[in-house]
Amino acid sequence: MYLTQGLHRVVQQRPAGIGTVCAGRVRTHAESADRVARLAAAFRGLGLRDGDRAAILSVNSDRFHESAAATLRAGGVVVPVNYRWSVAEIADSLAEVDARILVADDAFAGLAEEIRAGHGRLAHVVHSGDGPTPEGLHAFEELVAGHEPIEDARRGGDQLAGVFYTGGTTGRSKGVMLSHDNLLTSAMGWLATDGFEPGGVLLYASPMFHLAAFTTWVFSGVLGWTQVMTATYDPLTVATAVQEYEVTDLTLVTTMIQMIVDHPRIGEYDLSSVRRVMYGASPMSDALIARAMTALPNARFIQGYGMTELAPAATILRPADHEDSARRKSVGRAAPHCEVRIVDAADAELPRGKVGEIVVRGGNLMLGYWNRSDETAEALRNGWMHTGDVGWMDDEGYLFLTDRLKDLIISGGENVYSVEVENCLAAHPGVATCAVIGVPDDTWGERVHAVVVPVDGAAVSLEDLRAFCARRIAAYKAPRSLDVVDTLPLSAAGKVLKRELRRPYWERQERAIH
Amino acid sequence: MYLTQGLHRVVQQRPAGIGTVCAGRVRTHAESADRVARLAAAFRGLGLRDGDRAAILSVNSDRFHESAAATLRAGGVVVPVNYRWSVAEIADSLAEVDARILVADDAFAGLAEEIRAGHGRLAHVVHSGDGPTPEGLHAFEELVAGHEPIEDARRGGDQLAGVFYTGGTTGRSKGVMLSHDNLLTSAMGWLATDGFEPGGVLLYASPMFHLAAFTTWVFSGVLGWTQVMTATYDPLTVATAVQEYEVTDLTLVTTMIQMIVDHPRIGEYDLSSVRRVMYGASPMSDALIARAMTALPNARFIQGYGMTELAPAATILRPADHEDSARRKSVGRAAPHCEVRIVDAADAELPRGKVGEIVVRGGNLMLGYWNRSDETAEALRNGWMHTGDVGWMDDEGYLFLTDRLKDLIISGGENVYSVEVENCLAAHPGVATCAVIGVPDDTWGERVHAVVVPVDGAAVSLEDLRAFCARRIAAYKAPRSLDVVDTLPLSAAGKVLKRELRRPYWERQERAIH
């Protein structure tokens, strides 16, 4: 399987159909594919060779789509960049994967010099914005206009298609290597779970650099759908685009669903075209699902659980499962493309109902972490991806998440690893020691919460800590709440007992849900 | 991806659901999987090692399913045998793939000694029938009862999963090697074209050894469906099983649809449970589709076109396409897992509307022909499978078949290569020279038709030729009609001009359709 295949098919079957809609630009599938083939030629001209990495640092746009497709058509590997990261984080990751080309839009082209300073081998920066192209950068439209279309390199199968950076347990991000088959296996499994019609209109309501949205790019390509991109995805932007372009399919994190359906002006918009809402990151409460079904009267809801390393889907909660309030608290059952098990520390499968680590096997398992063979071997030991998530499974295979081994906080759909925030806070002169946990939050699903033991006599405030973090890590990783304490609960081995810290917050949540 | 994955999933999700129904035996998914795991242990005990071939010579049954699944679980490769072949043909193919185990049911266990005589290395024959086990054969149920379940070898991806014999252009059958990914790619693409629900009930209405049925075994496994097997599949057997087991999904060749819907007693059966009919081999006429929709009021119709080398699907005519009479004459459009093109003799793509050879590319392309690297390279040149079928494509990518390069006749869903029948007829003492073509037939789609120039003074009859063929080739390959002529039309190079022979028959057909 190869990711560019769908583009050939849609040009053959619906050349005059709408391919992309973005910022007032409407392009047919034939036009869009022609631009991709020209841009691929340009990328080859800039020196991109088979397997070379091209990074994309951009808000959602038609040119994000074209850049990713052109990279693959040219035989390259896509590296979508999390634009919420600090410049240092971005430069580090691009240096690590040795990106040869960076595509950056108006919002980020200004960072090009800084990124280049941190990654000396970055040969070319392509400016994909609508504003004037800064000195030293290539103008996207000039590249497209100045090249003749080239044939598709048709790399595929087990070959590397993309590197997707994800937070690391050691406090450094890891590049997850996904092959064409990895991404397409997950996408095809997803498509096998509902009647996905040709002729759909997909709106990206979250950043395309995230695999949760990128996987919809993959299966939208398989189906030859229309893609609608907006630079932002606040509730009214989403509602406006849905109404204007008769959007049929939306991918959202639960937090976004809540922000949309609870917006005071949402009733002014016609959302009746939406037939499917795909969401993830956290389950929906009974109250939220009821409100969502009212606001989106024709939508079927599908929940996915997974992770970047799983390309990304592991379990799926189907539309019919949503009718059962108990099942809605689960993340669904193993998707049609993989196996899911609950195991003990020795990797032995546990009986149904017992809590243990969730492990996954299938054609969607990542090739590995970029340049990290030890961590790859550890994550994929015995042929199963060890998710680091903890849960149990009922007698019908429904999976319920209970905890995370890896100290991962999912806040507004973003992964935040506690250790990275702790490392940052520990550098603050007023902090003696600290622990960072995720606690329930009505808006963000979870929020980053810091528990700090101050240096003797020091006064530590949340504002002070957030300002300190702002210069070092992405804003979404900074604590949103703070407890100042005298001591942290420790295990006999001296490890912070995070479950002790988390318990009071999550117990309250349990009561609120039940 | 691996073919045994779905069995693990269904045991996890619906252990007490019905897995197989056959000959009065009803087994749950858990029971069926347990038997597979025991039989896999038995196969290992009989010496089956990773990648070794196990052949199945059996009418449709639950034990066919168990044998195939156990072979894969044990790490082996499945070789489903066309039981319509002559014993010599069967022994030749099993010798070629060096099958170590043969599973044979009551109808065929008696041939075991003869087959063994033609394939000395066949180590074990397992008797899967309900009658007494012949001397020297292993009893299926004793093997199941006498072994403890073993773990799944979980071979998968590009590893060989099955060898499927198909007629050869050179008059000898070729073993098509398909990997786990080949078979699953085609199956997942098929599943992406309609809303395939869990909880389906599949009835095999054609022999499971055929890839057309075997592919439904693959996707039925992905979805964890109930499988219903009957030893025969005449119209009333099918109708009885549909009514009794509330069958939801049927795979048929067009010939079978016609036989079912036109049966005088079909109105006595309740076929309302059928929600989907998947068919292939030839398009349905307007009159037939109208009758079929009446007989199967709740069914959606999906047509597939493909071949064994494509694992097998290349194009799909979706339910909605059936509403358009012109499109119904096509075989649909490229499936979501592959690309389809029309090319000239130099492999250059032809403009829409031009007639040329149909070539296909995707993750479903066979690994190759068993032990035939030259023919493999020829078939897969430039990365595309050259189907040998001739057709054209309209502006929306719908594919219309017009002819076959390879002299292939598809009669009742069986592939018959002219050259094989010609070789056989040429050995008859009364035949001077001959040509075999496919001509339109109301019952069989196409029938095998012989055009014979007799030896001077010899009298040649159809009955005589059929009797002669019966001892040498499968019955379905023997001519069903005959023209005796003085000379055959020849090209300047001395080749028989088969299009000249075919024209009068197919012109009549065209008139009948339009």
CB A212 within 8 A of CB A312: yes
Q: Do B5 and A362 touch (CB under 8 A)?
A: yes
Say how far apart CA A416 and CA A110 lie, in whole Å: 26
Q: What angle do CA B73, B75, B77 make, to 5 degrees?
A: 100
Residue B48 has φ and ψ, to the nearest 5°, of -70, 120
In this structure, of B65-69, B76-80, B505-509, the range with the lowest mean pLDDT score is B505-509
**Look-up of token digits 């939220």:** A288
Mean pLDDT, range A181-208, rounded to an integer:
94
- Judged by DSSP in three states, B399 sits in strand
> What pLDDT sits at residue A510?
41
Q: Do B191 and A363 touch (CB under 8 A)?
A: no
- The encoded tokens of residue A291 equal 């409100």
Give the chain B residue whose CA is nearest to the CA of A321. Answer: B198
Mean pLDDT, range A267-280, rounded to an integer:
94
Q: Is the pLDDT score of B503 beyond 90?
A: no
Residues of A in contact with B9 (CB under 8 A): 333-334, 336, 339, 397
Cis check: omega of the bond before B312, within 30 degrees of 0: yes
Going by their DSSP bridges, the two strands B18-22 and B25-28 should be labelled as: antiparallel
> What pLDDT sits at residue A377?
97
Residues of A in contact with B8 (CB under 8 A): 339
**Residue among A1, A336, A338 minimizing CB distance to B337:** A1
> What pLDDT sits at residue B363?
97
Give the chain B residue whose CA is nearest to the CA of A334. Answer: B9
Residue B60: partners with Cβ closer than 8 Å, 6 or more residues away: B22, B204, B207, B208, B213, B229, B230, B231, B233
Handedness of CA A115, A116, A118, A122 (dihedral sign): positive
Strand order in the sheet with A25-28: A25-28, A18-22, A226-229, A201-204, A249-253, A276-280, A300-306, A313-317, A333-334
CB A200 within 8 A of CB A176: no
Say how far apart CA B118 and CA B345 lie, in whole Å: 40
Strand order in the sheet with B431-441: B431-441, B445-454, B481-484
The whole-chain average pLDDT of chain B stands at 91
Say how far apart CA A303 and CA A254 lie, in whole Å: 9
Residue-by-residue DSSP string for B232-267: ---HHHHHHHHHHHT--EEEEEHHHHHHHHT-TTGG
Strand order in the sheet with B399-404: B338-343, B356-362, B385-393, B399-404
> What pLDDT sits at residue A511?
39
> What pLDDT sits at residue A514?
29
Mean pLDDT, range A72-94, rounded to an integer:
93
Residue-by-residue DSSP string for B283-320: PPPHHHHHHHHHHSTT-EEEEEEE-GGGSSEEEEE-GG
Give the chain A residue whose CA is nearest to the CA of B198. Answer: A193
CB B489 within 8 A of CB B439: no
Mean pLDDT, range B258-279, rounded to an integer:
92
Chain segment A355-384, per-residue pLDDT in tens: 899 999 999 999 999 999 999 999 999 999
Residues of B in contact with A383 (CB under 8 A): 154
Going by their DSSP bridges, the two strands B25-28 and A385-393 should be labelled as: unpaired
Residues of A in contact with B194 (CB under 8 A): 195
Nearest to B91 by CA among B74, B104, B73: B104
CB A457 within 8 A of CB A435: no
Residues of B in contact with A333 (CB under 8 A): 9, 12-13
DSSP structural state of residue A152: -
Nearest CA-CA distance, residue A261 and chain B, Å: 27
Residues of B in contact with A397 (CB under 8 A): 9, 12-14
Nearest CA-CA distance, residue A142 and chain B, Å: 29
Nearest CA-CA distance, residue B349 and chain A, Å: 12
Interface list for chain B against chain A, based on CB atoms closer than 8 Å:
1-2, 5-6, 8-9, 12-15, 154, 156-158, 181, 184-185, 188-189, 191-192, 194-196, 198, 222-223, 318, 333-334, 336-340, 361-363, 383, 393, 395-397
Chain segment A315-356, per-residue pLDDT in tens: 999 999 999 988 988 999 999 999 999 999 899 999 999 989
Mean pLDDT, range B98-112, rounded to an integer:
94
Going by their DSSP bridges, the two strands A408-411 and A385-393 should be labelled as: unpaired
Q: Do A195 and B195 touch (CB under 8 A)?
A: yes
- The encoded tokens of residue B244 equal 């009794």
Q: Do B12 and A393 touch (CB under 8 A)?
A: yes
Q: Is the pLDDT score of B514 beyond 90?
A: no
Residues of B in contact with A158 (CB under 8 A): 157-158
Say how far apart CA A349 and CA A360 lie, in whole Å: 12
Nearest CA-CA distance, residue B19 and chain A, Å: 15
Q: Is the pLDDT score of B51 beyond 80?
A: yes
Q: Do B222 and A336 touch (CB under 8 A)?
A: yes
> What pLDDT sits at residue B188?
97
Q: Do A157 and B363 touch (CB under 8 A)?
A: yes
Q: Give residue A282's Cα distance to chain centre.
A: 13
**Look-up of token digits 């023997």:** B478
Q: Do B9 and A157 touch (CB under 8 A)?
A: no
Going by their DSSP bridges, the two strands A313-317 and A333-334 should be labelled as: antiparallel
Chain segment A151-181, per-residue pLDDT in tens: 999 999 999 999 999 865 455 789 999 999 9
Mean pLDDT, range A297-317, rounded to an integer:
95
Interface list for chain A against chain B, based on CB atoms closer than 8 Å:
1-2, 5-6, 8-9, 12-15, 154, 156-158, 181, 184-185, 188-189, 191-192, 194-196, 198, 222-223, 318, 333-334, 336-340, 361-363, 383, 393, 395-397
Say how far apart CA B83 and CA B476 lie, in whole Å: 11
Residue-by-residue DSSP string for B344-355: -TTSPBPPTT--
Nearest CA-CA distance, residue B386 and chain A, Å: 18
Going by their DSSP bridges, the two strands B368-369 and B385-393 should be labelled as: unpaired
> What pLDDT sits at residue B507?
66
As a whole number of Å, the end-to-end CA separation of chain A is: 45
DSSP structural state of residue B490: B
Bridge partners, A389 (sequence order) = A404
Q: Do B362 and A194 touch (CB under 8 A)?
A: no
Tally the C-alpha atoms within 13 A of residue B51's C-alpha that lie toward its C-beta.
Answer: 3
Highest mean pLDDT among A276-285, A475-484, B218-227: B218-227
Nearest to A401 by CA among A413, A412, A389: A389
Q: Is the pLDDT score of B281 beyond 80?
A: no
Confidence of residue B511 (pLDDT cuts 50, 70, 90): very low
Residues of A in contact with B196 (CB under 8 A): 192
> What pLDDT sits at residue B420?
81
Bridge partners, A368 (sequence order) = A177
Buried/exposed A364-386: b ≥16 CB within 10 Å, e otherwise: bbbbbbbebeeebeebbeeebbb
Residues of A in contact with B318 (CB under 8 A): 198
- Comparing A389 with B140, the larger pLDDT belongs to B140
Residue-by-residue DSSP string for A246-297: T--EEEEEHHHHHHHHT-TTGGGS--TT--EEEEESSPPPHHHHHHHHHHST
Tally the C-alpha atoms within 13 A of residue B442's C-alpha that lie toward its C-beta.
Answer: 6
Nearest CA-CA distance, residue B198 and chain A, Å: 8
Strand order in the sheet with B124-127: B138-139, B124-127, B101-104, B53-57, B77-80, B160-166, B174-179, B368-369
Residues of A in contact with B363 (CB under 8 A): 1-2, 156-157, 181, 184
> What pLDDT sits at residue A131?
94
Which amino acid is it at A485? V
Kindly give the interhelix angle for A180-191 and B180-191, rounded to the nearest 10 degrees.
40
Q: Is the pLDDT score of A56 beyond 60?
A: yes
Residues of A in contact with B362 (CB under 8 A): 1, 5
Residues of A in contact with B339 (CB under 8 A): 5, 8-9
Q: Do A336 and B223 touch (CB under 8 A)?
A: yes
Mean pLDDT, range A111-137, rounded to an integer:
90
Write out the H or E segment, with its range, that includes residue A102.
Answer: strand A101-104
Cis check: omega of the bond before A312, within 30 degrees of 0: yes
Q: Is the pLDDT score of B383 beyond 80?
A: yes
**Residue among B1, B191, B196 minimizing CB distance to A362:** B1
- The encoded tokens of residue B324 equal 């358009």
The whole-chain average pLDDT of chain A stands at 91
Which amino acid is it at A79? V
Q: Do B192 and A12 touch (CB under 8 A)?
A: no
Residue A191 has φ and ψ, to the nearest 5°, of -65, -25
Best to test chain A binding among B4, B8, B9 (most A CBs inside 10 Å):
B9
- Comparing A126 with B110, the larger pLDDT belongs to A126
User: Which burial class, exposed, middle or buried, applies to A348 when counting CB atoms under 10 A from its CB (0-12, 13-18, 19+)?
Assistant: exposed
Q: Do A339 and B8 touch (CB under 8 A)?
A: yes
> What pLDDT sits at residue B167?
66
Bridge partners, A356 (sequence order) = A391
Residues of A in contact with B183 (CB under 8 A): none
CB A102 within 8 A of CB A112: yes
Residues of B in contact with A196 (CB under 8 A): 192
Buried/exposed B56-90: b ≥16 CB within 10 Å, e otherwise: bbbbbbbbbbbbbbbbbbbbbbbbbbbbebbeebb
Say how far apart CA A399 and CA A339 lie, in whole Å: 12
Beta-carbon count within 10 A of B31 CB: 17
Length of chain B: 514
Confidence of residue B505 (pLDDT cuts 50, 70, 90): confident
DSSP structural state of residue B461: -
> What pLDDT sits at residue B508?
57
Going by their DSSP bridges, the two strands A431-441 and A445-454 should be labelled as: antiparallel
Length of chain A: 514
Distances, alpha carbon B78 to alpha carbons B38, B74, B223, B369, in Å: 17, 11, 21, 15
Confidence of residue A259 (pLDDT cuts 50, 70, 90): confident
In this structure, of A58-67, A435-444, B97-106, B167-176, the range with the lowest mean pLDDT score is B167-176
> What pLDDT sits at residue B493?
60
User: Which burial class, exposed, middle or buried, applies to B294 when counting CB atoms under 10 A from its CB (0-12, 13-18, 19+)?
Assistant: exposed
Chain segment A208-232, per-residue pLDDT in tens: 999 999 999 999 999 999 999 999 8
Q: Is the pLDDT score of B59 beyond 60?
A: yes
Q: Is the pLDDT score of B494 beyond 70?
A: no
Best to test chain A binding among B10, B13, B225, B384 (most A CBs inside 10 Å):
B13
Interface A-B, measured as beta-carbon pairs within 8 A, has a size of 107
Residues of A in contact with B12 (CB under 8 A): 333-334, 340, 393, 397
Give the chain B residue whose CA is nearest to the CA of A182. Answer: B1
